[in-house]
Structure 1
Amino acid sequence: MSLPVPLISLRGVTKVYGSGQNQLLALKGIDLDIQQGEFVAIMGPSGSGKSTVMNILGCLDTPSQGQYLFKGAHVESLTRDQRARLRRQYLGFVFQGFNLLARTSAQENVELPLLYRGDDISVRREAAAMALKSVGLAGWERHTPSELSGGQQQRVAIARAIVTAPAVVLADEPTGNLDTRRSHEIMGLLLALNRDHGITVLMVTHEPDMAAYAHRLVHFVDGGIAQDRVNPHPITSEQGVIPTATEN
């Protein structure tokens, strides 16, 4: 029985920064397949290549050599505008620093990807309200980031990432600025999105207790994949902390 065609495939992907004596080989011929619906933790020390590969997967950067296939399309051959359209249609992003507009309400922050896509205002409002509700923030739509806790801000960021109904959420150290309880709340939320909505989650983290939620662990060292294994005992949502909107 043949395996399903991967959602994402990297074949012989290298990334070189600089030239001459200043040349840095950040990725050294990466081969990686990711299936639709996987929850993958990408781990490794600083400078290992994990952030570089995440930028390539997110169409924020391009390989120096090699192939990147998304749903069978050769992403490395796309123009800048074509990559931007792919991001808008299929990818959602969650960052360590939340990246919310400070003077803008939660509702308006979540609407931004739909605004860039050109959706009508009524469509934007309804979709943003539903996304905020799905992350436990119904009733908080008018609050600005300064009126929200760190955990709530990250939930707004997750709502913004999923408002376009992406195939993939790329989370770069999503719990890096949160305390332990809020970190587990966010991980429980990402796990629920993966389990209940089939969203593929790719997460960069250096924290083993956060990576424990993933079903698969990919370790980078010195620009290559040192280990790629199934997590035999991933944390389930029932074991984690259920997100609430009433945190202080």
Structure 2
Amino acid sequence: MKTPSSPTAAPPPLIELQGVVKTYGQGQASMQALRGIDLRIERGDFVAVMGPSGSGKSTCMNILGCLDTPTSGCYLFEGVEVGALPRNRRALLRRHYLGFVFQGFNLLNRTSALENVELPLVYRGMPAQQRHARAMRALETVGLGGWAGHTPSELSGGQQQRVAIARAIVTDPKVLLADEPTGNLDSARGIEIMELLTALNRDKGITIVMVTHEPDMADFASRTIRFRDGLAQSNGRNV
């Protein structure tokens, strides 16, 4: 009689924060931006992060993006404690696993859409022919295959944000961190960008964490996390 095999352990969440505190300054001048955040983000999640200015959401995003470190508590990425990694390993995590999209697009004005998208691959030392092909595929994914030679000044705001998204996904990240990605766009262009992000989440399995002040944009996410006074609360799945 065979001994039953033990069940396979469930994989850890993609992202987990355990009691994360972030304090700026010292003594009476200290300010606690995060006051003990517990947070789990699973693979394939699409999470909207909302909250008033000063609520701690931007600080949390900086920690998730390895741009800052907690004062105390743990940030785990695929079960690995990020805070225990040396600075160069955190930089590699940021470069190879995370993609970033910003409200202001952050494109280089005098370079083409294709060259903007290629930039993360240049930092990786990828040969020109290979990075050119990957950048073209990324532009085609966001619907701008025919605009590769145009500079940002020749593109609309919505098109510029699509280029920025192509640049963020050209490295095949596991997580896309989007900070107010529709903040500089009108409602119609904002909806187009949200539909694109939804498609990337659904079709490519990219986990998305998005800061937004706009409830109608947050509705595209599968769940919403609300920050207030350095604390966070998930409201479960969006309907």
Give the structure-2-normalised TM-score.
0.95
Q: Matched residues, percent identical?
A: 66
Q: Say which SS state the counterpart of residue 139 (structure 1) adopts.
A: helix
Q: Any residues of structure 2 matched to 1:113-124 within 5 Å, and which?
A: 113-124=120-131
Name the counterpart of 2:235: 229
Match of 2:79 in 1: 72
Amino acid in the other structure paired with 1:229? N
Supply the RMSD in Å over aligned alpha carbons: 1.1
Q: Which structure 2 segments of 5+ residues have no match?
A: 1-6
1:240 equivalent in structure 2 = none
**Aligned mate of 1:42, from 49, 65, 69:** 49
Give, in whole Å, the separation in 2 of the partners of 1:126 and 1:93: 21
> 1:183-211: CA deviations, max 9, x gaps?
00000000000000000000001110000
Aligned pairs (5 A) from 1:19-168: 19-168=26-175
Matches of residues 154-233 of structure 1 in structure 2 within 5 Å? 154-225=161-232, 227-233=233-239
Shift of 1:231: 3.3
Contact 1:212 / 1:231 at 8 angstroms: preserved in 2? Answer: no
CA contact (8 A) 2:224 2:238 kept: no
Q: Deviations over 1:5-59 (max 9, x none)?
A: 2001100101011112221100011110110000000110000000000000010
Give me the whole-angstrom Cα distance separating, in 2, the residues matched to 1:21 and 1:109. 45
Distance 2:27 2:181 in 1: 35
Q: State whether residues 19 and 73 of structure 2, in contact with CA within 8 Å, keep that contact through their aligned partners in structure 1.
A: yes
Shift of 1:115: 0.6
1-side partners of 2:82 and 2:155: how far apart?
Answer: 37
For the residue of structure 1 that corresponds to 2:147, the secondary structure is coil
Look up the SS of the partner of 2:19 in the other structure: strand
Displacement after TM superposition at 1:4 (Å):
4.4
Amino acid at match of 1:118: G
- In structure 1, C-alpha distance between the alignment counterparts of 2:182 and 2:11, rounded to whole Å: 32
Q: In 2, Cα distance between the equivalents of 1:79 and 1:16?
A: 21
TM-score (norm 1): 0.91
The list of structure 1 runs, each at least 4 consecutive aligned residues, that deviate by more than 6 angstroms after superposition, is none
Q: CA deviation at 1:3?
A: 5.8
Given that 2:221 and 2:238 are in contact with CA atoms closer than 8 Å, whether structure 1 keeps it comes out as no
Q: Which amino acid aligns with 1:198?
A: G
**Structure 1 residues not aligned, in runs of 5+:** 234-248
CA displacement 1:130-165 (0-9 Å, x = unmatched): 000000001100100000000000000000000000
